[in-house]
């Protein structure tokens, strides 16, 4: 597919997911050297190895070579195949770590993807499955990826350190994506959320809801936070509780925030009242940052704009996260695409922090592996 000349070379373990996902979509081979070469325990970690196995499962004909110490990785991408799959994620990272990348790849498979992921559904590091379900799915719909078969379903919750959660992710395939003009976030009209508790008293969820409402009720009345207490086998293997809040605007923008309790046996115990208050404050901070896409999904939105038809797409974002900035550099390396970035000051927008208007012309990416029917 591509000669040695086009092989992209990187060093270090950072942004491994970005590089593998973009290599798969662009079909360019990739070599990563010096993965934690100076550390006492060099090479790939178990959650990265699990991610590489997942990429191998969803593609057909990928060639992956890792040296003995795990410090060098060569990846020659195959075709995105999809189909019905199962994958056990490493419990050291959340399912969100794997699901974020699957959301980028799923629309471009040969067969619609239907995958069961097992592991930790909610933790303090990665975006939880709840947040991705509430924010990433509506974002995919804006680009024309919708239908009955687009869903994320939580069958079991799993908290760290042992996990035991299970989710189902299904996504239809698309030949082309439609361009978007998404520049006016609009005003917040309602707040929804989920307070969940597993293997602790069901009262924990109610206490979180009360404290979060105490803060948010000052701003608007339309607030509904569901309590989700899973029992028995559905509650996974470790105790814990947490909260996920989403704010929806009149124009359909969804901004999110979340918090989870400390894993069993690590750190001090958290009061549910404190956690509820802090989560509400995080949501208010996310609303202050603003934009049409929240900070969790900035890179997904930019990728879908890049892969759209040869037409102009515009999205207004809040301040760019360091992860997104690096993602833009990778997009330039893999797809030779540059975004036009205009900063909008607070006075122009009348609200919140500084915004960035991102504009690009799609590369006209066409899903060649999708069979014609």
The DSSP annotation for 328-342 comes to: HHHHHHHH----EEE
Specify the pairing of strand 355-361 against strand 340-344. Answer: antiparallel
pLDDT per position as a tens digit, 309-354: 999 999 999 999 999 999 999 999 999 999 999 998 766 656 778 8
Whole-prediction pTM: 0.95
- DSSP letter string, 152-169: EEEEE--BTTTB-EEEEE
Question: Average pLDDT, whole number, for the chain?
Answer: 93
**Integer Cα distance of 14 and 327 in angstroms:** 11
Instruction: Kindly report the number of other CB atoms within 10 A of residue 46's CB atom.
Output: 11
Per residue in 175-206, pLDDT (tens digit) is 999 999 999 999 999 999 999 999 999 999 99
């Amino acid at each position: 597919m591509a000669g040695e000349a086009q092989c992209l070379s990187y060093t270090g373990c950072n942004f491994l997911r970005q590089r593998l996902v973009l290599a798969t979509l662009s079909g360019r081979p990739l070599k990563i050297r010096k993965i934690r070469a100076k550390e006492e325990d060099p090479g790939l970690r178990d959650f990265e190895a699990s991610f590489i196995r997942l990429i191998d499962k969803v593609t057909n004909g990928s060639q992956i070579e890792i040296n003995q110490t795990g410090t060098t990785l060569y990846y020659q991408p195959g075709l995105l195949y999809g189909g019905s799959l199962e994958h056990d994620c490493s419990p050291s990272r959340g399912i969100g770590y794997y699901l974020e990348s699957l959301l980028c790849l799923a629309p471009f498979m040969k067969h619609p993807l239907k995958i069961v992921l097992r592991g930790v559904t909610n933790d303090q590091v990665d975006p939880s499955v709840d947040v991705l379900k509430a924010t990433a799915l509506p974002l995919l719909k804006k680009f024309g990826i919708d239908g009955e078969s687009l869903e994320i379903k939580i069958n079991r919750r799993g908290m760290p350190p042992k996990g035991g959660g299970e989710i189902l992710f299904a996504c239809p395939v698309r030949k082309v994506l439609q361009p978007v003009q998404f520049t006016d976030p609009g005003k917040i009209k309602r707040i929804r959320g989920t307070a969940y508790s597993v293997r602790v008293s069901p009262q924990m969820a109610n206490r979180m809801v009360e404290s979060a409402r105490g803060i948010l009720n000052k701003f608007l009345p339309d607030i509904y936070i569901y309590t989700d207490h899973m029992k028995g086998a559905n509650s996974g293997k470790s105790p814990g509780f947490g909260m996920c809040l989403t704010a929806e605007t009149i124009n359909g923008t969804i901004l999110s925030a979340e918090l989870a309790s400390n894993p069993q046996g690590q750190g001090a115990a958290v009061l549910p009242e404190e956690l509820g208050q802090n989560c509400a404050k995080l949501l208010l901070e996310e609303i202050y940052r603003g934009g049409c896409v929240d900070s969790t999904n900035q890179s997904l939105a930019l990728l879908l704009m890049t892969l759209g038809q040869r037409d102009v797409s515009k999205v207004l974002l809040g301040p760019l996260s360091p992860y997104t900035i690096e993602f833009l550099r990778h997009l330039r390396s893999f797809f030779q695409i540059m975004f036009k970035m205009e900063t909008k000051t607070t006075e122009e927008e009348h609200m919140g922090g500084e915004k960035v208007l991102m504009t690009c012309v799609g590369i006209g990416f066409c899903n060649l592996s999708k069979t014609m029917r």
